[in-house]
Copies of this chain bind each other. A is one copy, B any other.
Amino acid sequence: MGGTIRIAVLGASGYTGADLVRLAAGHSNIEIAALTANTHAGKSMASVFPHLSVLPLPDLTTWESVDWNGVDAVFCGLPHGTTQKITASVLGTNPGIKVIDMSADFRLRDPQVYAEWYGHSHFAPELQDEAVYGLTESYRDQIRTARLVACPGCYPTAVLTALLPIVSEGLVDSSDIVIDAKSGVSGAGRGLKQNTLFCEAGEGLSPYAVASHRHAPEIEQELSRAAGTELLINFTPHLIPMSRGELCTSYLRLSAGANPAMLRDALKARYADETFIKVVDEDVIPQTQNVRGSNFVQIGVFADRIAGRAIVVSALDNLVKGSAGQALQNMNLLFGLDESTGLKQLPLFP
């Protein structure tokens, strides 16, 4: 296949929306049919994101005014709850549209868990059933035939790519997983908050949402499935003074007979044929600088000095593989394209 895919991006005034536009502009098969941002409707995209002013782009509009019959795929980067509300309407107008959600609205299979963490009942439980979790490397086949893809959060992508193969092979004690996560400030979005001002976030560092971050249940859902048993994780994110990038350091207790090299080997075997997941050798240390602006994940395994323990480090760009890039990767699957189309951009360093 090689026809034109007409896309709409809902929530195009956020960082994720902008990064999707950046990537889509380099995709040979995409035509951007609509960009929405209800609070900025009527403005040019260039006025909201001057770095995109070199592109010919449609003006921002409301999602209600999009002509859905002229759209093949819709990327949703909306506040939580919103996509649940509008998807039925969109699909009612054009049932052939592929919905690629970058929000949390369809990630949690259990609507009870959703309600617990997001503070309201799920607005579209009937759609939840057909949603496929969009961790591309794990759900590739299901994504190909899906209509609604729920792309993972940035932290879950970093953690799950690193831990799923290890947990599913029983190499570690799944009841003792400690994840110390670090994210650049763009993960908090473009909304105005005091703690993301330059003077507040710069030259300093702090944990946030300690043991209460909404990405924890999402990670647990997938790790539990891999482990074959319900598990809880210790997950603590930290805000780091950089714009992009995310790094998760996972502290693991090895199963009897396992050792760090076996973990590395399992990861290398699992990802040998993957384009975007790179398992590094023993002497290489993952760092966010190595993946900035790209769709790559870098994973490293280290022996702990305590016998029977290992440390796994994974790094990605939260706006790319952690959001817009993986969404585009999934779109490629949905339309039968080579999975890496539009995603070959290399990391930007320095």
**Contact A288-B206, Cβ < 8 Å, known A199-B15, A304-B234, A309-B234:** yes
Q: What per-residue 1/0 map shows which CB atoms of A289-324 lie under 8 Å from chain B?
A: 111111010000011111001010101000000000
Picked from B53, B184, B292, the residue with its CB within 8 Å of the CB of A290 is B53
Residue of B nearest to A275 (CB): B54
Interface hit among A1-9, A142-150, A221-229, A244-252:
A244-252
CA distance A330 to B133 in the complex (A): 46
A247 touches B313 (CB 8 A): no
Residues of chain B within 8 A (CB-CB) of A249 are 180, 207, 236, 238
Tally chain A residues at the interface, Cβ within 8 Å.
83
Q: What per-residue 1/0 map shows which CB atoms of A181-197 lie under 8 Å from chain B?
A: 01011100010111011
Residues of chain B within 8 A (CB-CB) of A289 are 50-51, 200, 203-204, 206
Q: Flag whether A286 is at the interface (Cβ < 8 A).
A: yes
Q: Flag whether A198 is at the interface (Cβ < 8 A).
A: yes
**Contact A304-B211, Cβ < 8 Å, known A25-B346, A54-B346, A287-B205:** yes
A238 touches B182 (CB 8 A): yes
Residues of chain B within 8 A (CB-CB) of A346 are 22, 25-26, 51-52, 54-55
B234 touches A251 (CB 8 A): yes
Residue of B nearest to A233 (CB): B306
CA distance A204 to B25 in the complex (A): 23
**What are 16 A-B pairs at a CB distance below 8 A?**
A22-B347, A50-B284, A51-B290, A54-B294, A54-B346, A54-B347, A190-B194, A192-B192, A196-B199, A203-B244, A204-B292, A205-B287, A206-B285, A232-B305, A238-B247, A244-B350
